[in-house]
Structure 1
Amino acid sequence: MSLVVLVAAFVQGSVGVGFGLIVAPVIGLLAPQWLPVTVLILMLPLNAYVCWREHPELDRGGATWVTAGRVIGAFGGVWIITRISAHDLSLLIGVATILAALATIYAPAFTPGRKAFMTAGLITGVTETATGIGGPPLALVYQYHPGPALRSTIALCFAVGEVISLGLLSASGRVTAHLALQAITLIPAMVVGVMASRFARHRLDDRVMRSCVLGFALISGVLILIQTLFSGSM
């Protein structure tokens, strides 16, 4: 798990997205009871650092509208996970992972406006709070922005949203000391990964990295669906 977190933090720090798409499916396969709390706790310091590192390129206007939608979506995510079983949550994670990857691959180019930013924030709020996966909607609206603007803005939106999501999940009883401890044990791996990204973010081919992340997400999502459906039939 530490190796997966290290790789995911490296990808997120280099490209701007990918942590949830890489980590959440693996946790869904190995320890689904950790979701989404462990992923959200790990992503908070990760995104705070990335935002600080590249804050001069921050798109403040877009971040404001994304965050507005993100706040509303977080309530929807909490509503979902407090009303479905662990089996159904695993199905949701598998489906969300596959759909998010496919949407990122096939979405056409466009110039985002206020409505697009708010919609992306809304969807991110629901999916990240419920499953730990929230990057694809933001990647879609920022996919044609310069790398530093994409990384800093998405990181800020994530960090603010994660505080909100964790607060709501804590109020609903989903954040426990055990889950927090599991996340803390993985923080050293996350730190190594994101620090390594400092030396790679200007050298890596974003298209290759993006393709690897999406391919991994698709395979992981399919494996989660197979595992969940098989276990449900036993």
Structure 2
Amino acid sequence: MSTATLTLLAVVVAVAAFVQGTSGMGFALIAAPVMGIVQPGLLPVVVLALMVPLNLYVAHREREAIDWRGAGWISTGRLVGTAGGFAVLVAVPTSRLDLLIGASTVLAVLASLAVPSFAPGHPAQVIAGAVTGVTETATGVGGPPLVLLHQHRPAPVLRSTVALCFLVGEVISLLVLLATGTIDAEQVRATVVLLPALGLGALASHLVHHRVGGPRLRTGVLLFALVSGIALLLKA
């Protein structure tokens, strides 16, 4: 990997970590598309690996606000979806996967704009976890289902609960990828080299995360999901 590519990825990772640490989502939506363009061999492993310490930090920072019961149901679905995500990663061409995820994300955003505030039940949490398991294991991007599920919750609950769900799911996905021989030395090296940039962005988010919440956070959630969905459609 060239110095220019490494520098670009470090900047992108720092910005993505700041956005995720501030709003509760956005790391993969920002980092994965850029990584896919300049160094596609790093996906999905490096995005998943970098999100482990990031989400551990966010979940611990606002641990008092975690919805433990909801996180448990989501993680149950995520466990099931991870196997499906690996199967998709092996069997489906990336262009078709991007098209499917992009269309589903855009539809989810449009539905959220039309549907009033709701409290998701256990079936919705399990389904969101399963969908996230498939998409994140296959592509590194799994945020939209979880953030749409929590878009009407208080900001600390959204950030901490989504971070915990991501953390559990990423560990599961990485273990599956490791067991199947999908992780290589280049991906491990890139993860280690990019850790300082990740830490810088995460620590910077600590200064402003308490100022982000309510309608502004919901707007940010929907905007991130919509942009990511459209970007995936254009890529496909």
Q: TM-score, normalised by structure 1?
A: 0.87
| Percentage of pairs with the same residue | 45
For 1:217, the equivalent position in structure 2 comes to: 228
Q: CA deviation at 1:202?
A: 2.0
Q: CA deviation at 1:94?
A: 5.5
Please give the alpha-carbon distance, in whole angstroms, between the structure 2 residues aligned to 1:90 and 1:156: 30
Contact 1:97 1:133 in 2 (8 A): no
Please give the alpha-carbon distance, in whole angstroms, between the structure 1 residues aligned to 2:197 and 2:164: 21
Q: Does 1:134 align with 2:142?
A: yes
Contact 1:9 1:19 in 2 (8 A): yes
For 2:31, the equivalent position in structure 1 comes to: 23
Q: CA deviation at 1:97?
A: 4.1
Number of paired residues?
A: 222
Q: Which runs of 5+ in 2 are unaligned?
A: 1-8
Contact 2:109 2:226 in 1 (8 A): no
Quick one: structure 1 residues 142 and 212, their matched pair in 2 at CA, closer, same or farther if it must change by over 3 Å? closer
| Partner of residue 61 from structure 2, selected from 53, 57, 80 | 53
Deviations 1:198-233 (CA, angstroms, capped at 9, x unpaired):
1111224425644653464255324522xxxxxxxx
| Partner of residue 157 from structure 1, selected from 165, 172, 193 | 165
Q: Does 1:33 align with 2:41?
A: yes
Q: Does 1:96 align with 2:107?
A: no
> Relative to structure 2, which stretch is displaced further, 104-113 or 193-202?
104-113
For 1:228, the equivalent position in structure 2 comes to: none
Please give the alpha-carbon distance, in whole angstroms, between the structure 2 residues aligned to 1:187 and 1:94: 31
Quick one: structure 1 residues 207 and 145, their matched pair in 2 at CA, closer, same or farther if it must change by over 3 Å? closer
| Partner of residue 110 from structure 1, selected from 112, 118, 135 | 118
Please give the alpha-carbon distance, in whole angstroms, between the structure 2 residues aligned to 1:119 and 1:128: 14
Q: CA deviation at 1:92?
A: 1.9
For 1:229, the equivalent position in structure 2 comes to: none
Q: TM-score, normalised by structure 2?
A: 0.86
Contact 1:112 1:141 in 2 (8 A): yes
Q: Which runs of 5+ in 1 are unaligned?
A: 226-234
Deviations 1:138-157 (CA, angstroms, capped at 9, x unpaired):
11111111111111111111
Contact 2:74 2:126 in 1 (8 A): yes
Please give the alpha-carbon distance, in whole angstroms, between the structure 2 residues aligned to 1:41 and 1:148: 24
